[in-house]
Structure 1
Amino acid sequence: MKRQLVHVATIGKPHGVNGLVRVYSYLEKATNLQNYKELIDNHGERWSLIWKNEPIAILYDGNKNPVDSRTNAEHLTNRKLYVTRDSFSDLEEEEFYLVDLIGLQARVQKINQQKEAFGIIDHVHDYGAGTSLEIKLDSKEIIIVPFTKQCVPVIDLEAGWVKICLPHFIEVSPNEGNKGNVLAD
């Protein structure tokens, strides 16, 4: 079974001439990034880091050698850093990581109270104004649903599904035969 990798940071531009880099963390606390023994970049290389002062860090390669020049640091700009999902800390009951929602079946409740599958959660987006779920429908169309208690009232991680209550209007992504249709409840 392939280990699931989670994007936790991105390497930015170099800082100074000695190999320091800016690192943009997507963790709740950026300082927690240095607690991971191994970060894997999108080229398959292994790294670790120590913060100088956030967002400036010293990067160490898989052999524990620091990046020691601006030129070497420039080659790392825009690399994404990942950790394995199993390296995350355990959570309290009824808590979960957003990454755990990806791949869950999205179900809607019909008038007769029966829940019907209509898609799979493909991505979780959080751009700062609120989290949303990108759901790939069985018809291969995509909808975006706000990740709120009103729109996603039930999450059953063990059973592998979430209940979706669609807002009155949802925009559907355009495709070959469908140019900007709108679905209504």
Structure 2
Amino acid sequence: MTQSSPQNLILVGRVAGAFGVRGELRIATYTEDPLTLTRFKALTRQDGSPALTVQTARVVKDGVVARCAGVDTKEAADALRGLRLYVPRAALPEPDEDEYYLADLIGLPVRHVATDELLGKIKSVQNFGADDLLEIDPALGGQTWYLPFTRAAVPEVKIADGVVLADPPALVGEPEGPESPAEDDDGERHYD
């Protein structure tokens, strides 16, 4: 069996633990339809090695309960808790026009929508519980920063052109808009 390179794998679920005493697994799914997991021949680990083969599944809150080949006891199911499940990108259907997979954004350059200035490159897509965030590796080096993945901050994603256009919000402490005139001790305004 040919293994996929980790760059071509898409995270589709995570084993949450055992369900019952007969080796069934609770799997949190990251697909639009939780039963999509049953359509893949085999799920892999992040390194591309085989992880699970789903034989049957039923939908439950936050995912599926699945019976998988070779997992026959509660202990075997519990040992898989936390296992992340991937499929090759090629196994997924092509997205519709003007749609894309978040994984397709990784590595794309990010340019300012108004100035065309190169801001950096997308390192990852994160979600810490609220909305998706694009982790940006700055063009000029330095520490990565996060860009909210909202229509306001990212007005255009051009997958075919290989670019993301962004209008990042002002950083904390940075002035928004034109500078305010300074006041000196006598209360007069000066425009420097």
Q: Which residue of 2 aligns with 1:47?
A: 52
Shift of 1:129: 2.5
The question of 1:56 aligning with 2:58 is answered: no
Shift of 1:150: 1.6
**Residues 108 and 118 in structure 1, CA contact (< 8 A), matched pair in contact too:** yes
Q: TM-score, normalised by structure 1?
A: 0.79
Shift of 1:119: 0.8
* Matched pairs, number: 166
- Secondary structure in 2 matching 1:99: helix
**Residues 35 and 58 in structure 2, CA contact (< 8 A), matched pair in contact too:** no
Shift in CA distance, 52/134, structure 1 to aligned 2, threshold 3 Å: same
Deviation sequence 1:96-150 (CA, Å, 0-9, x none): 111111110011245xx4x121211111123453222111113131111111222
Shift of 1:68: 0.9
Tell me the amino acid that sits aligned with residue 45 of structure 1: P
Q: Write the distance in 1 (CA, Å) between the matches of 2:50 and 2:123.
A: 26
Deviation sequence 1:30-77 (CA, Å, 0-9, x none): 1111111121024622422121443321112xxxxx411122212211
Structure 1 residue runs of 4+, over 3 Å off?
Answer: 182-185
In the TM superposition, 1:172-183 aligns within 5 A as none
Q: Which residue of 2 aligns with 1:121?
A: 122
Q: Which residue of 1 aligns with 2:184?
A: none
Which protein is bigger by CA-based radius of gyration? Answer: 2
Q: Which residue of 1 aligns with 2:149?
A: 147
Structure 2 segments unaligned to the other structure (5+ residues) = 177-192
Q: Write the distance in 2 (CA, Å) between the matches of 1:34 and 1:128.
A: 27
Shift in CA distance, 16/109, structure 1 to aligned 2, threshold 3 Å: closer
Shift of 1:29: 1.7
Q: Write the distance in 1 (CA, Å) between the matches of 2:57 and 2:117.
A: 48
Q: Which residue of 1 aligns with 2:160?
A: 158
Specify which structure has the higher proportion of strand.
1
Q: TM-score, normalised by structure 2?
A: 0.77
Shift in CA distance, 164/90, structure 1 to aligned 2, threshold 3 Å: same
- Secondary structure in 1 matching 2:142: coil
Shift in CA distance, 127/31, structure 1 to aligned 2, threshold 3 Å: farther
- Secondary structure in 1 matching 2:145: strand
- Secondary structure in 2 matching 1:119: strand
